[in-house]
Structure 1
Amino acid sequence: MKRLEALDAARFLAFCGMVLVNFRIAAQVAPDGGWATALVDALEGRAAALFVILAGIGISLSHIAAPLLLRRALFLFGLGLINMNVFGADILHFYALYFVVGAAFLTASARSLWLGALGIVGLAVLANLTFDYSNGWNWATLTYNDLWTLPGFLRNAVFNGWHPVLPWAAFLLIGMAIGRSELHTICIQHRLIMWGFGAAVLAMFPSMLVTDPDLVTYLGTESIPPGPFYILAGTGSACMVIGLLLKLWPKLKRLGVAPALTAPGRISLTLYVAHILIGIGALEEAGLLDGSLSPVQIVFYALGFCVLSSLAGLLWSRWFTRGPLEGLMRRITQPRAA
């Protein structure tokens, strides 16, 4: 299948959403009820879910072999551990664990992938009924007290971290299932849009039917804690974005905006690390990680970084086909031809 450029564009949009969310987390910006707060609230958990679903689609479309996928998982795990020392909400080491789960489903049918995703969500629900989700967390400072102990790290990675395997690995399997379909056809694109919209709307109702505060939280669509209807909402919004971009892509190409979306989307791993080291790093150097920024200020700073990321992607694509970290991962994990 010819490369679907719209998926690269979706990856860049997911990156931009994560930048908005992560900059707010790092800068400790207090919500004010305005449009900027509402925008980032709407993106929280959704942008990262889109990112993971796109990874699953990429796995299916690339027909990657299990050994190579596991080597890439090991690379991302090491990079994520390094990144965690700078930014505690790192997603890369979680990504690596999702890849391990995905490797076990590489030859599975679309139906088996959907069932696997459902099973992961079911295990997450069971874990939340059995264990204390707050264990290890200091919610006032958003720090995890025993992260660098073996029990704490495993608990964080599998159960109650920022993006734990239970249930976040379901997004990867869902993406793999979507990647089994004929994404280039109008029929599939319409299904993604309509079913995605329906899922996102349906996910909002369960929390409205209960009054217990704990149930309202868990049956809601917030990413912390990630309940089953958060997975439904995240999947629905991701499907809508993917379907709309696939359908509208010919028009976007005619408007001339396609390269500004696809070029940075192809180096999203490099940009993800850059937004922490450079974007958040600049805020730290300026002494602005103390909660002094307003929601509007952090949104404009984040959007400015996204524009610069797009320009960097365009410039880089003139001379190179892969980003620096993408190329390094390929060089380390891809076996050389004899």
Structure 2
Amino acid sequence: MSQAKERITAFDFARALAIFGMIIVNYKLAMQAESGGSAWLQAIAGLFEGRASALFVVLAGIGVALMTSKARNSMNGELIRQSRNSLYKRAAFLFIAGVLLLLMGWSADILHYYAVFMLVAAVLITVSDNKILGLFSMILVASQLFLVMFDYTKGWNLSFKDYTGFWTIEGFIRNLLFNGFHPIFPWLSFFLIGMWIGRKRWLNKENRSKVLLYSLSGTVVFESISFFLVKWTSPVLSNEAATYLFGTKPMPPTMLYVFSGICSAVAIIAICLYVVDKFENSLLTQAMIHTGQLSLTHYIGHVVIGIGFLMTVSYLENGSLSFAVAYGTVYFIISIIFSSLWRKWMKRGPIELIMRKWC
């Protein structure tokens, strides 16, 4: 298998893992499941929070970088125009899909944020690597400053489930840019670093072990910095304020959370490269790759079908973590089986086919 093909299928494998993590986190959120599970189950479920989505967004950035590489490398005006138009159309499609999910009551949607990422990517096709890193840094610094300058809780109720004034212009923009589930500041940083990584040769076979070592080390370092900063500043700021400024949970998304999330995402991608390289022909690996190739279908499906079913049977807000994890795991297994069967007949998933015709 060529390195390019291996890299792409490894990214699909990683997308499948990201989808699994997002399903667990989103079902836990939808069911308000904070209890009903052992300590180890709570710890495992907590590991996915903000990490699965971060992995998903980093992979999106890498994917866009690979998709537009021919236009960027050739600097052919027509190719650049075609790539931009394709990204504009994808942005429109994802925005409409995201708004439809929001109208269905799914407040944690990520697709309408993705739409903005695609618009930014269209503008940045011909921009240098250094400028992308510069924009990444600016967004990260601005995001941390915004946490100090503005009220992060504005619009949210105490449980961070309902957002007052979301459908007003002010509320929608505030949620989109600052204090939604995946706000542009700083979530665009994940996408930009993905674009930057996608332009590099970091993930080639000869660099893989270094990337894995550095990314795992980075995760430990940033989590440790967070832990000690919270511990040392708590007596002065209060534990709540220290966690707000230096924690590594996705809400609020601090600078340390972004750095830790990037490192953990890159580590998982590197591990996926090893797995696909060694076990490419196994049925499970192929099934996971096919699941990742249908990631947009599964993202929409886990909301419309998975959560929709629980709403229909009036069992959505049951509050049991054990049930949320079990239900999410079963749903993901069904998704794997569906993906394997579907890919025998069709190259793209149902939603991917619709988007392909649109774009």
Partner of 2:62: 57
Q: 1:201 and 1:302, CA in 2 relative to 1: closer, same or farther beyond 3 A?
A: same
1:108 aligns with 2:113: no
Q: Does 1:169 pair with 2:188?
A: yes
Runs of at least 5 residues in structure 1 that lack an aligned partner in the other structure: 334-338
- The amino acid across from 1:310 in the alignment is I
Specify the code of the residue in structure 1 equivalent to 2:212: I
What code does the residue aligned with 2:194 have? G
> Which residue, out of 21, 25, 28, partners 2:25?
21
8 A Cα contact 2:203 2:211, kept in partner: no
Q: Is the Cα–Cα contact under 8 Å of residues 30 and 291 in structure 1 kept in the other structure?
A: no
Q: Secondary structure at 2:197's aligned position in 1? A: helix
**Separation in 2, partners of 1:280, 1:313:** 19
Instruction: Give the letter aligned to residue 20 of structure 1.
Output: I
Q: Tell me the residue number matched to 1:336.
A: none
Quote how far apart the aligned CAs of 1:117 are: 1.2
Contact 1:192 1:242 in 2 (8 A): no
Match of residue 150 from structure 1? 169
Write the distance in 1 (CA, Å) between the matches of 2:135 and 2:208: 23
- Which whole-Å CA distance do the structure 2 matches of 1:59 and 1:306 have between them? 26
Q: Which residue of 2 aligns with 1:8?
A: 12
Q: 1:104 and 1:221 mapped to 2: Cα distance?
A: 30
Equivalent AA in structure 1 for residue 291 of structure 2: P
Return the alpha-carbon distance in structure 2 between the equivalents of residues 327 and 286 of structure 1.
Answer: 31
Aligned match of 2:206: 187
Mapped partners of 1:220, 1:173: distance in 2: 22
Bigger drift between 296-305 and 248-257 goes to 248-257
> Which structure 1 residue ranges, 4+ long, deviate > 4 Å from structure 2?
none
Q: 1:206 maps to which residue?
A: 225
Q: Normalised by the size of structure 1, how large is the TM-score?
A: 0.94
For the 8 Å contact 2:54–2:262, the answer to whether it is kept is: yes
The one-letter amino acid of 1:285's match is T
Tell me which amino acid in the other structure corresponds to 1:319.
W
Whole-angstrom distance in 1 between the partners of 2:51 and 2:245: 16
Any conservation in 1 of the 2:202–2:211 contact (CA below 8 Å)?
A: no
**How many pairs align?**
332
Counterpart check, 1:306 vs 2:332:
yes
Distance 1:163 1:141 in 2: 13
Could you say what secondary structure the match of 1:144 adopts? coil
> Cα distance, 1:251 vs. partner?
1.5
Report the Cα distance in structure 2 between the residues aligned to 1:255 and 1:315, rounded to whole angstroms.
16
Q: Is the 8 A contact 1:79 1:92 kept in 2?
A: yes
SS at match of 1:205: helix
> Distance between the aligned counterparts of 2:158 and 2:90, measured in 1?
33
Deviation at 1:274, TM superposition (A): 0.5
SS of alignment partner, residue 247 of structure 2: coil
1:254 is displaced (CA, Å) by 4.3
SS of 2:223's equivalent in the other structure is coil
If each structure's helix is expressed as a fraction of its own residues, which one has the higher value?
2
Counterpart Cα distance in 1 of 2:298 and 2:29: 18
Contact 1:206 1:220 in 2 (8 A): no
Amino acid of the structure 2 residue aligned with 1:179: G
Q: Does 1:287 align with 2:314?
A: yes
* SS of 2:337 mapped into structure 1: helix
Q: What SS class does the counterpart of residue 302 from structure 1 fall into?
A: helix
Specify which of 251, 260, 266 is matched with residue 287 of structure 2.
260
User: What TM-score do you get using the length of structure 2 for normalisation?
Assistant: 0.89
- Partners of 1:184 and 1:135 in 2: CA distance: 41
Aligned residues with identical type, % of pairs: 36
8 Å CA contact 1:60–1:180 kept in 2: the answer is yes
Shift of 1:312: 0.6
- Corresponding residue number in structure 2 for 1:82: 100
**Rounded Cα–Cα distance in structure 1 between residues aligned with 2:210 and 2:121:** 24
Partner of 1:220: 247
Which of 93, 115, 127 pairs up with 2:146? 127
Matches of 1:201 and 1:311, distance apart in 2? 35
Structure 1 position 38, deviation (Å) = 1.2
Q: Confirm or deny: 8 A CA contact 2:203 2:270 kept in the other structure.
A: no
> Residues 88 and 122 of structure 2 are in contact (CA less than 8 Å); yes or no, is this contact kept in structure 1?
yes
**Residue in structure 1 matched with residue 75 of structure 2 by the alignment:** none
**Contact preservation (8 Å) 1:70, 1:100:** yes
